[in-house]
């Protein structure tokens, strides 16, 4: 609590009102306006939540001006270099990095849940083979509530724990199944003697005829992609999960809602859109065509955007993009693709955009999606699957945020209000008299 306040005055003579100002541990204070409607009969208006904190949270902190990202207080750079994804999952879910004992319990707990109900493959079979993986994932994750009915009670902390582990453990299996289905190959069962990332890559790339030998650099890159995407504060899909779960629905349904939201090109779909953009520029002539493309991205009359650039919160280089660019060098070096034309094009495009006044004045910098597509493509992941991998990695963040919300004694169903601008009350006129 604080003794600082903010006073709102009205020009129409209504009495002014005093609101408490609440401090965070770091970051901007918030003005607690919960009493506004009760006292004045007025709402605030903030489409897109430009100035609205929708909840309090102790999970992730972003300083958009500095380009800083902390999970539970730990800088993303340290987590990306000193821990692995399952340690980060433990951190996000339970508040701290695991001790050696906790790690020894947590890892097998996840790996023992990697198989999915055998019946799920028949459900998957109902999709067209060319269905977009995000359409498939929205369906499969939602369907988990039908396959695991013993862990769907959101109010039961034990059931929530089980559904959390099930989701984290089974997402790689489901993404790999969606991929195998799309290419007509047999599903590969998970192997619990492999790391989380290596197991996923094996389920993707092995076949019953030929095993997949994990390459340490590529496995580490995959694991880093997972870490960098694990949580990101109150973004659109996380807010969707919170909103959805606020009605008391089950965790699988809420996470399916998050998957659906993530699909959009302004959010998780940007990695796919970014790689497709690079391919387009490449096809039209490569580096020589960058100027023309940038002109289109700046033109308000065109719908073209420089995908992988810009962010609602970061007004500086996204720290995840820096780490992803580093990984990009490592992966391309390991695979002997140092001269990869797409990577060279991406670097040239980034350089030109970062020197262009349009992007500089609007503080538009590369975000995590700018380089992640190039890394995934080099690893052998098909472009259409990029966003599903983002969903796989973000699942832990969604669950941590959902758990935090449900455990908050102040939690209520999410119910925004509106500024109504439609017709005032009117009567239904009989059809013959309407003109």
- Is residue 32 annotated as part of the catalytic site, yes or no? no
Place of tokens 């990869």: 340
For the bound state, the minimum distance from the C-beta of residue 422 to ligand CMC, rounded and expressed in Å, comes to 25
Do residues 90 and 171 make contact, with C-beta atoms less than 8 angstroms apart?
Answer: no
- Is residue 90 annotated as part of the catalytic site, yes or no? no
**Region near ligand CMC per CB under 6 A, out of 7-15, 114-122, 164-172, 266-274:** 266-274
Q: Considering only residues 172, 268, 373, 397, which one is a binding residue for ligand CMC as defined by CB under 6 A?
A: 268
For the bound state, the minimum distance from the C-beta of residue 316 to ligand CMC, rounded and expressed in Å, comes to 13
Please tell me the distance from the alpha carbon of residue 202 to that of residue 211, in angstroms, as a whole number: 8
Please tell me the distance from the alpha carbon of residue 153 to that of residue 33, in angstroms, as a whole number: 32
139 vs 308, beta carbon nearer ligand CMC: 308
Q: 347: buried, middle or exposed (CB in 10 Å: 19+, 13-18, 0-12)?
A: middle
Q: 109: buried, middle or exposed (CB in 10 Å: 19+, 13-18, 0-12)?
A: middle
Select the residue whose beta carbon is closest to ligand CMC and give its number.
310
For the bound state, the minimum distance from the C-beta of residue 270 to ligand CMC, rounded and expressed in Å, comes to 3
Q: Considering only residues 26, 58, 157, 266, which one is a binding residue for ligand CMC as defined by CB under 6 A?
A: 266
**Region near ligand CMC per CB under 6 A, out of 145-153, 220-228, 332-340, 359-367:** 359-367
Q: Considering only residues 310, 319, 373, 397, which one is a binding residue for ligand CMC as defined by CB under 6 A?
A: 310
220 vs 394, beta carbon nearer ligand CMC: 394
343 vs 371, beta carbon nearer ligand CMC: 371
18 three-state secondary structure: strand
For the bound state, the minimum distance from the C-beta of residue 435 to ligand CMC, rounded and expressed in Å, comes to 41
Residue 261, CB half-sphere, CA atoms under 13 Å: how many? Answer: 20
For the bound state, the minimum distance from the C-beta of residue 240 to ligand CMC, rounded and expressed in Å, comes to 12
Radius of gyration of the chain measured on its C-alpha atoms: 24
Question: In degrees rounded to 5, what are phi and psi of residue 214?
Answer: -65, 135
The candidate with the shortest Cα–Cα distance to 168, out of 235, 92, 233, is 92
Told to check if 173 binds ligand CMC by CB under 6 A, we report: no
103 vs 267, beta carbon nearer ligand CMC: 267
37 vs 49, beta carbon nearer ligand CMC: 49
364 vs 375, beta carbon nearer ligand CMC: 364
151 vs 238, beta carbon nearer ligand CMC: 238
Told to check if 312 binds ligand CMC by CB under 6 A, we report: yes
Q: 7-33: string of b/e by CB count within 10 Å (b at 16+)?
A: ebeeeeeeeebebbeeeeeeeeebbeb
Told to check if 42 binds ligand CMC by CB under 6 A, we report: no
**If binding means CB under 6 A, how many residues of this protein chain bind ligand CMC?**
19
Q: Considering only residues 194, 367, 372, 395, which one is a binding residue for ligand CMC as defined by CB under 6 A?
A: 367
The candidate with the shortest Cα–Cα distance to 44, out of 56, 32, 55, is 32
Name residues contacting ligand CMC, limited to 202-261 (CB under 6 A): 235
Please tell me the distance from the alpha carbon of residue 327 to that of residue 370, in angstroms, as a whole number: 12
For the bound state, the minimum distance from the C-beta of residue 377 to ligand CMC, rounded and expressed in Å, comes to 17
Give strand pairing partners of 106.
none
Joined together, the tokens standing for residue 380 give 């052998």
For the bound state, the minimum distance from the C-beta of residue 362 to ligand CMC, rounded and expressed in Å, comes to 4
| Residues 6 or more apart whose Cβ sits within 8 Å of residue 180 | 186, 187, 188, 203, 204
Q: Provide the terminal-to-terminal Cα distance of the chain, rounded to the nearest Å.
A: 60
Told to check if 191 binds ligand CMC by CB under 6 A, we report: no
Name residues contacting ligand CMC, limited to 290-309 (CB under 6 A): 297, 305-309
Told to check if 111 binds ligand CMC by CB under 6 A, we report: no
Please tell me the distance from the alpha carbon of residue 200 to that of residue 213, in angstroms, as a whole number: 12
Place of tokens 């002014």: 16
Please tell me the distance from the alpha carbon of residue 199 to that of residue 214, in angstroms, as a whole number: 9
Polymer length of the chain: 435
For the bound state, the minimum distance from the C-beta of residue 230 to ligand CMC, rounded and expressed in Å, comes to 13
Residue tagged active-site, from 90, 232, 311, 318:
311
Told to check if 368 binds ligand CMC by CB under 6 A, we report: yes
Annotated catalytic sites, by residue? Answer: 311, 369
Interface residues with ligand CMC (CB under 6 A) are: 235, 266-268, 270, 297, 305-312, 362, 364, 367-369
């Amino acid at each position: 609590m604080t003794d600082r306040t903010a006073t709102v005055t009205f020009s129409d003579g209504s009495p002014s009102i005093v609101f408490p100002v609440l401090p965070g541990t770091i970051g901007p204070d918030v003005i607690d306006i919960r009493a506004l409607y009760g006292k004045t009969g007025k709402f605030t208006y903030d489409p897109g939540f430009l100035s609205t904190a929708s909840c309090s949270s102790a999970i992730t902190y972003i300083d958009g001006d500095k380009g800083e990202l902390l999970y539970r207080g730990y800088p993303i750079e340290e987590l990306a270099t000193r821990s692995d994804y399952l340690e980060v999952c433990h951190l996000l879910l339970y508040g701290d990095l695991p001790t050696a004992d906790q790690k020894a319990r947590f890892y097998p707990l996840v790996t023992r849940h990697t198989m999915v109900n055998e019946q799920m493959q028949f459900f998957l079979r109902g999709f067209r083979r060319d269905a977009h993986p995000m359409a498939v994932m929205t369906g499969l994750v939602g369907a988990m509530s039908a396959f695991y009915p013993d862990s769907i009670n959101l109010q039961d902390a034990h059931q929530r724990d089980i559904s959390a582990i099930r989701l984290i453990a089974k997402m790689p299996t489901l993404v790999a199944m969606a991929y195998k289905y799309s290419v007509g190959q047999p599903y590969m069962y998970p192997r619990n003697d492999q790391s989380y990332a290596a197991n996923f890559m094996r389920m993707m790339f092995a076949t019953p005829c030929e095993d997949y030998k994990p390459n340490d650099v590529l496995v580490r890159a995959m694991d880093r992609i997972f870490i960098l995407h694990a949580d990101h504060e109150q973004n659109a899909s996380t807010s969707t999960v919170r909103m959805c779960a606020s009605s008391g629905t089950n965790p699988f349904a809420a996470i399916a809602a998050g998957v659906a939201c993530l699909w959009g090109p302004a959010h998780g779909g940007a990695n796919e859109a970014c790689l497709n953009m690079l391919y387009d520029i490449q096809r039209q002539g490569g580096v020589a065509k960058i100027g023309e493309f940038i002109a289109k991205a700046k033109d308000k009359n065109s719908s073209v955007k420089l995908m992988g650039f810009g962010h609602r919160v970061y007004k500086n280089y996204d720290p995840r993009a820096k780490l992803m660019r580093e990984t990009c060098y490592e992966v391309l070096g390991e695979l002997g693709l140092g001269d990869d034309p797409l990577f060279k094009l991406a670097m040239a495009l980034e350089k030109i955009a970062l020197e262009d006044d349009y992007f500089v004045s609007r503080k538009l910098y590369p975000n995590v999606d700018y380089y992640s597509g190039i890394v995934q493509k080099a690893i052998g992941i098909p472009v259409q699957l990029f966003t599903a991998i983002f969903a796989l990695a973000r699942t832990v963040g969604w669950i941590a945020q959902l758990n935090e919300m449900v455990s908050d004694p102040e939690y209520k169903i999410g119910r925004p209000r509106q500024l109504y601008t439609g017709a005032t009350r009117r009567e239904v006129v009989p059809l013959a008299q309407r003109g």
